[in-house]
């Protein structure tokens, strides 16, 4: 870490800072489901769910997930299909596929006990530097840094660190700072308190400095520059992709669904058949019909459009034209291609955009009846 930050820390009363921070956390912390016990598995599940995801969003997912898979054994033995179904709508689906793979490794390699060293725990799928530190400190009381976006924002202000927190390498600077600041008496509360402070007081815009328990220790507050920190470069716009999709029924009223590949966007989720549209040709129905024939061997009639859907991801935006249609021939089903009754669809995990497609399909049926 640079000399400037070191000098700022050396001027701090670290014991006083720890006490002000931790006593505030003991007083003001939110009562969250995963704070009721220190089961390393439950801490683990909560930390994976909370990656890039708001607390209020996670709470119901966490409760359902622990109810369905209360132990490492339960998750290790579950079908991936059922695991994805519980995760449906939470996003970043590789998180839960990695979690299940890692839980199986804990069973086989570590006798079912979550390891308690950074090296071992960080070697598990889906556990990076932040999550390793979070599990170690919260579940095992090990004084390891757990540097997330909150911690970088809070400490960038307290220590006036002007490094770009969008850069991956910057995290190491904050980890060094935490190693110098962390309470060895209560590493769990120290780390959680930094994050809680970031979530409740030291917010990205308009931080509530007058309510802050550690404002006396905050260099940015003293200089009046808290609104200028942290430094974070902008990310670029996602690109647009035009798709055409179809909710297709056969003569028995069954609906055609397809399982996405096991890597990449929305891996292993189910979808209604769809293809990217070449805008220079701009005949949706014809391109869709040709795709269905070549990809699935399906002879189809694409009928009227039933809606349009925009699906915004981090790096791409799907603009989907949705049609209804009919399958004319007998299709050979396999692991990735299934004809299922409408009532059966709820057992498959779909991305949000495809859930909306089925809603549009039901609405279009209501109109024609």
Partner DNA sequence: TAACCGTGGCA
Partner DNA sequence: TTGCCAAGGTT
Active-site residue set: 47
Which residue from 75, 83, 90, 306 is in contact with DNA, where contact means CB under 7 A? 90
3-state class of 230 per DSSP? coil
Task: Compute the residue count for the chain.
Answer: 369
Q: Work out whether the CA dihedral 8, 10, 13, 14 comes out positive or negative.
A: positive
Helix orientation angle between 170-181 and 187-200, rounded to the nearest 10 degrees: 120
Stretch that binds DNA, among 122-130, 173-181, 216-224, 323-331 (CB under 7 A): 122-130
- The answer to whether 18 contacts DNA (rule: CB under 7 A) is no
Q: Which residue, among 139, 136, 186, 131, has the nearest Cα to 39 in the 3D structure? A: 139
Tell me the closest approach of the beta carbon of residue 368 to DNA, in angstroms. 28
- The answer to whether 50 contacts DNA (rule: CB under 7 A) is yes
- The answer to whether 127 contacts DNA (rule: CB under 7 A) is yes
* d(C-alpha 247, C-alpha 114), whole Å: 44
Question: Which positions from 161 through 200 interact with DNA, judged by CB under 7 A?
Answer: 167-169, 192, 195-196, 198-199
- The answer to whether 129 contacts DNA (rule: CB under 7 A) is yes
Residue whose CB is less far from DNA, 70 or 238: 238
Tell me the closest approach of the beta carbon of residue 326 to DNA, in angstroms. 27
Residue 2 phi, psi (nearest 5): -70, 160
- Helix ranges (H only) for 110-169 are 118-122, 129-140, 149-158
H or E element that contains 18:
helix 14-28
Contact string (CB under 7 A) for DNA, positions 292-311, x = contact: -------------------x
Residue whose CB is less far from DNA, 70 or 204: 204
* d(C-alpha 227, C-alpha 204), whole Å: 8
Cα-to-chain-centroid distance, residue 292: 32
Instruction: Evaluate whether 245 touches 322 at the Cβ level (below 8 Å).
Output: yes
In the 8-state DSSP scheme, what is residue 303?
Answer: E
Tell me the closest approach of the beta carbon of residue 163 to DNA, in angstroms. 11
Q: Which residue, among 102, 97, 98, has the nearest Cα to 85 in the 3D structure? A: 97
Tell me the closest approach of the beta carbon of residue 111 to DNA, in angstroms. 21
Number of residues that bind DNA (CB under 7 A): 60
Residue whose CB is less far from DNA, 251 or 263: 263
Instruction: Evaluate whether 305 touches 360 at the Cβ level (below 8 Å).
Output: no
Tell me the closest approach of the beta carbon of residue 299 to DNA, in angstroms. 30
In the 8-state DSSP scheme, what is residue 35?
Answer: G
Tell me the closest approach of the beta carbon of residue 119 to DNA, in angstroms. 13
- The answer to whether 20 contacts DNA (rule: CB under 7 A) is no
3-state class of 249 per DSSP? strand
- The answer to whether 316 contacts DNA (rule: CB under 7 A) is yes
Residue whose CB is less far from DNA, 19 or 57: 57
- The answer to whether 132 contacts DNA (rule: CB under 7 A) is yes
CA 313-268-125 angle, to 5 degrees, is 85
Long-range pairs, 204-208, Cβ under 8 A, ≥24: 204/153, 207/157
**Cis bond leading into 230, ω under 30°?**
yes
- The answer to whether 149 contacts DNA (rule: CB under 7 A) is yes
Residue whose CB is less far from DNA, 205 or 368: 205
Question: Which positions from 249 through 278 interact with DNA, judged by CB under 7 A?
Answer: 264-267
- The answer to whether 319 contacts DNA (rule: CB under 7 A) is no
Which residue from 14, 242, 313, 326 is in contact with DNA, where contact means CB under 7 A? 313
Tell me the closest approach of the beta carbon of residue 10 to DNA, in angstroms. 27
Provide the binding-site residues for DNA, judged by CB under 7 A: 32, 46-47, 50-57, 89-94, 98, 125-132, 134, 148-150, 153, 167-169, 192, 195-196, 198-199, 203-205, 232, 234-237, 264-267, 311-316, 351-353
């Amino acid at each position: 870490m640079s000399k400037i930050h070191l000098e700022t820390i050396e001027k701090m009363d670290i014991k006083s800072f720890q006490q002000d921070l931790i006593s505030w956390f003991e007083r003001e912390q939110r009562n969250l489901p995963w704070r009721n016990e220190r089961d390393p598995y439950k801490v683990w599940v909560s930390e994976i769910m909370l990656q890039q995801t708001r607390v209020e969003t996670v709470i119901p997912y966490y409760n359902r997930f622990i109810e369905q898979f209360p132990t490492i054994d339960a998750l290790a033995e579950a079908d991936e299909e059922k695991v994805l179904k519980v995760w449906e709508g939470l996003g970043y689906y590789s998180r839960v596929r990695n979690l299940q793979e890692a839980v199986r490794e804990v069973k086989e390699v570590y006798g079912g006990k979550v390891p308690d060293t950074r090296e071992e725990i960080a070697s598990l799928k889906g556990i990076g530097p932040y999550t390793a530190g979070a599990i170690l400190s919260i579940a095992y009381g090990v004084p390891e840094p757990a540097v997330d976006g909150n911690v970088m924002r809070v400490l960038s202000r307290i220590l006036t660190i002007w490094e770009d927190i969008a850069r991956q390498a910057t995290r190491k600077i904050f980890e060094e700072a935490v190693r110098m600041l962390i309470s060895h008496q209560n590493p769990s509360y120290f780390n959680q308190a930094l994050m809680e402070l970031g979530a409740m007081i030291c917010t990205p815009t308009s931080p509530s400095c007058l309510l802050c328990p550690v404002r006396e220790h905050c260099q940015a507050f003293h200089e009046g520059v808290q609104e200028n920190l942290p430094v974070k470069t902008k990310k670029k716009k996602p690109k647009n992709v035009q798709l055409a999709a179809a909710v297709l029924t056969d003569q028995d009223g069954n609906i055609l669904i397809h399982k996405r590949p096991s890597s990449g966007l929305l891996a292993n989720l189910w979808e209604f058949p769809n293809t990217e549209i070449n805008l220079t040709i701009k005949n949706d129905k014809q391109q869709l019909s040709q795709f269905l024939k070549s990809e699935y061997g399906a002879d189809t009639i694409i009928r009227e459009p039933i809606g349009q859907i925009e699906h915004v991801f981090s790096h791409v935006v799907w603009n989907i034209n949705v049609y209804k249609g009919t399958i004319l021939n007998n299709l050979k089903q396999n692991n990735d291609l299934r004809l299922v009754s409408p009532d059966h669809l709820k057992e498959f995990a779909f991305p949000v955009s495809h859930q909306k497609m089925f809603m549009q399909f039901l609405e279009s049926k209501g109109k024609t009846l």
